[in-house]
Amino acid sequence: DVKVTQSSRYLVKRTGEKVFLECVQDMDHENMFWYRQDPGLGLRLIYFSYDVKMKEKGDIPEGYSVSREKKERFSLILESASTNQTSMYLCASSSSGGRLGQETQYFGPGTRLLVL
């Protein structure tokens, strides 16, 4: 079974703090993704990575950065947390290779972040 874990289920931070969200997958997947999910807005892609040290911006990268130093780990960084970054953050991973079905994304349990 694919397992994607996230460092925290719930997190409370203050405005201006630097926040690190960690995601680890155990299936040797090449691709990893960070989304945020807000009521009425669906899943929005923040950043993704298709290889170690490689990253690409998603639809809403502003205010975020990412790090992928090891294949199994993908970190999302909020450089200076703001109240509008209060959200549910979801990490996902998938295999590459180009064959149909390999794009299946497997999600972690999510981190609910509250910025005060």
Partner 1 sequence: QKEVEQNSGPLSVPEGAIASLNCTYSDRVSQSFFWYRQYSGKSPELIMSIYSNGDKEDGRFTAQLNKASQYVSLLIRDSQPSDSATYLCAVNARGSGNTGKLIFGQGTTLQVKP
Task: Note the residues at the interface with partner 1 (CB under 8 A).
Answer: 30-31, 33, 40-43, 45, 48, 50, 56, 90, 94-98, 100-110
Q: What letter would DSSP give residue 85?
A: G
The smaller minimum CB distance to partner 1, of residues 13 and 44, is found at 44
Measured between alpha carbons, how far is 48 from 113 in angstroms, rounded to an integer? 19
Minimum Å distance from CB 79 to partner 1? 24
Q: In whole angstroms, how close is the CB of 58 to partner 1 at the nearest point? A: 8
The DSSP 8-state label assigned to residue 26 in this structure reads: S
Least distance (Å) from partner 1 to the CB of residue 29? 8
Is the Cβ–Cβ distance between 64 and 76 less than 8 Å?
A: yes
